Amino acid sequence: MKLGVLTGGGDCPGLNAVLRALVRRGVLELGYEFVGILNGYEGLILPELTMPLGLNEVRGILPKGGTILGTSNKANPFAYPVREGGKLVNKDMSEVVLKRIKALKLDGLVCIGGDGTLTMAHQLSERGVNVVGCPKTIDNDLSGTDQTFGFDAAVNVVAEAIDRLHTTAEAHQRVMVVEIMGRNAGFLTLDGGLAGGADFILIPEAPYSVEVMVARLQELYETKKKFAIVAISEGAFPAGGAQAVAQGADEIPGRGVVRLGGSGKVLADLLAPHLEAEIRVTVLGHLQRGGSPSPSDRVLATMYGSMVLDLVRDGKWDHMVCLRDGKLGFTTLSESRKERHVDLNGDKVRLAKSIGISFGV
């Protein structure tokens, strides 16, 4: 069995841990051979973008962030940006991918990524490619699994950032707004805000009211606590308003989705006319993606990387590994295309409200 392996979409801690587990079990127990596909699906479109992937290549990579294979969130083989007549146009390069897989003599493809990467994997499966998937995203928004690796490490970054901002917020009696990744799902902001002790947690699932926030902030400043921490998702927006967009989908060739950003500044501008307190915005950005995986993410990534070979061994193509109710399992790749959202009636939101955290509604 000869398998191609790629990591697609945004990087996150734990990708190398998956590669290590995949290769070690594949070589030591199953006798498989692996080819590393570089820069996501781009390695199946452009020539000479592969590397050997054996025991030597994965030695010592368990604690390393990023991915030794490189990645891309713009290399969609069904809408790949190609320059024609001085302009970038999206072209269907799936036929090139099929020929490349055949030329590499691959028996199957292991695709490690989030909703975009796994959607493309499912599309390749529909074209006859043997594909299995491994879910990855710091956003934790894939409906096919209860948790993705990379999420825990990102939550740690958010919590530490809020911890640090607490001291300067208190010293200057400021309102500190912390903008957090997560796109259309608020899991990262919810868990990071809870862990960091934020006063407000604003998520896309619950459009916030400026009036409600102003009233709550005034209450806080009338007490001995004369500062506040607001954890806001990049996808959060005011009731009746819209998400803050940094770049439109048509501005990023090959990406096909908008790039969110600026929700923190939008909130600060809305609050400023109503408050005497100084408001400062901190955008955590790609700090949330970088660094070593947490121990929890190392374990989950190792389990996923090893488990994905059960799918290969059993011929369960067009499936991905998942975690459901604390147990490893598998589900179809088509299931990964459904976006998961925070349950506003769930225990975390309910209990957060019970201890005085406001969701701005």
pLDDT in tens, 24-73: 999 999 999 999 999 999 999 998 899 999 999 999 999 999 999 999 98
In angstroms, the CA 145 to CA 335 distance is: 9
Specify the pLDDT at position 87: 85
**Over the stretch 296-348, which tens digit does the pLDDT of each residue have?**
999 999 999 999 999 999 999 999 999 999 899 999 998 777 789 999 999 99
Which residue shows structure tokens 């998942």?
A: 322
pLDDT interval class at 253 (50, 70, 90): low
CA–CA distance from 269 to each of 4, 175, 281 (Å)?
49, 12, 10
- Inter-axis angle of helices 210-222 and 263-271, nearest 10: 70
Name which CATH class applies to 2-149+293-337.
Answer: alpha beta
Mean pLDDT for 108-133 is 95
Specify the pLDDT at position 249: 64
In angstroms, the CA 139 to CA 117 distance is: 14
pLDDT at 254 over 70: no
In angstroms, the CA 270 to CA 340 distance is: 29
pLDDT at 264 over 90: yes
State the average pLDDT for the chain: 93
- Indicate which residues carry an active-site annotation: 139
Which residues on neighbouring strands pair with residue 142, listed in sequence order?
A: 339
pLDDT interval class at 241 (50, 70, 90): very high
Enter the tokens of residue 328. 């490893």
Q: Taking the model in full, what pTM does it have?
A: 0.91
Enter the tokens of residue 249. 């989908």
Q: Give span(s): CATH 3.40.50.460, the chain.
A: 154-289
Q: Give span(s): CATH 3.40.50.450, the chain.
A: 2-149+293-337
Per CATH, which fold does 154-289 belong to? Rossmann fold (3.40.50)
